């Protein structure tokens, strides 16, 4: 899946000039600097199932995002940086994030996403004692930003559990409003 996403992104950047590296739109750069702060919601990604995010456009090409979320039966927190390859209204980006997924205990037997249970907590079936998972995630994604400040993004992540390097892929989507 990740391979297919990368190939599609590469083809778009070669054949659609507004998505390429050389034709960065001054309008989008001005928009990102006039609307530096964003708030929104996300599904998947570093916040597991669902969460709220705050985003700051530090420069035209770089933003920092923090968020709080939930995996339904556990809590999540996330911080990531994204480097945008400026397009006209659509900007592909590369990112790097760190997340913590944890609980002090839950009676649930089946928790999600699958990458958590099958990769990061492999062999654990009793979550009543809790768990604490730190994750580093390189990211590739794309963001559409409307001139009114509405933005939607989709991304693919490769998650690495810190300290034992168990890994797996995951995807996320976010919707933000910048002001």
Domain boundaries, the chain: 2-178
Whether residue 44 is predicted with pLDDT greater than 60 in this model: the reply is yes
pLDDT at 111: 87
What DSSP line would sit under 42-74, residue for residue?
EEEGGGBTEEEEEEEESSSSEEEEEEEEE-SSS
Read off the tokens for 76: 């999540």
Neighbours of 15 (CB within 10 A): 9
Where does the pLDDT of residue 12 fall: very low under 50, low under 70, confident under 90, or very high at 90 and above? Answer: low
**pLDDT band at 103; cut points 50, 70, 90:** very high
The backbone region for 149, taken as left when phi is positive above 0, alpha when psi lies in -120 to 50, beta otherwise, is left
What is the pLDDT averaged over residues 141-149? 94
Give me the mean pLDDT over the 59-82 stretch. Answer: 96
Residue 107 reports pLDDT greater than 80 = yes
Average pLDDT over residues 43-50: 94
CB 30 within 8 A of CB 149: no
The residue among 2 and 138 whose pLDDT is bigger is: 138
CA–CA–CA angle 135, 133, 160 (5° rounding)? 30
End-to-end CA distance of the chain: 34
* Segment among 10-14, 84-88, 126-130, 148-152 with least mean pLDDT: 10-14
* Cα 66 to Cα 6: distance, rounded to the nearest angstrom: 25
Give the ranges where 63-159 is alpha helix by DSSP (H): 114
CB 41 within 8 A of CB 51: yes
Choose between 26 and 5: higher pLDDT: 26
The architecture that CATH gives domain 2-178 is Beta Barrel (2.40)
**C-alpha span between 137 and 135 (Å, rounded):** 6
């Amino acid at each position: 899946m990740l391979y297919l996403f990368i190939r599609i992104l590469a083809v778009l950047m070669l054949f659609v000039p507004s998505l390429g590296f050389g034709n960065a739109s001054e309008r989008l750069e001005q928009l990102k600097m006039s609307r530096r702060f964003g708030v929104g919601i996300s599904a998947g990604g570093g916040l597991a199932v669902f969460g709220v995010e705050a985003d700051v456009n530090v420069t035209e090409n770089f933003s920092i995002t923090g968020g709080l979320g939930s995996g339904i039966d556990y809590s999540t927190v996330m911080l990531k940086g994204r480097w945008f390859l400026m397009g006209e209204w659509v900007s592909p980006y590369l990112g790097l994030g760190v997340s913590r997924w944890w609980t002090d205990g839950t009676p649930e037997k089946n928790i999600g996403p699958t990458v958590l249970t099958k990769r990061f907590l492999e062999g654990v079936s009793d979550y009543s004692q809790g768990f604490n998972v730190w994750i580093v995630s390189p990211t590739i994604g794309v963001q559409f930003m409307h001139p009114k400040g509405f933005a939607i993004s989709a991304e693919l992540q490769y998650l690495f559990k810190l300290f034992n390097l168990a890994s797996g892929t995951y995807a996320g989507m976010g919707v933000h409003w910048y002001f």
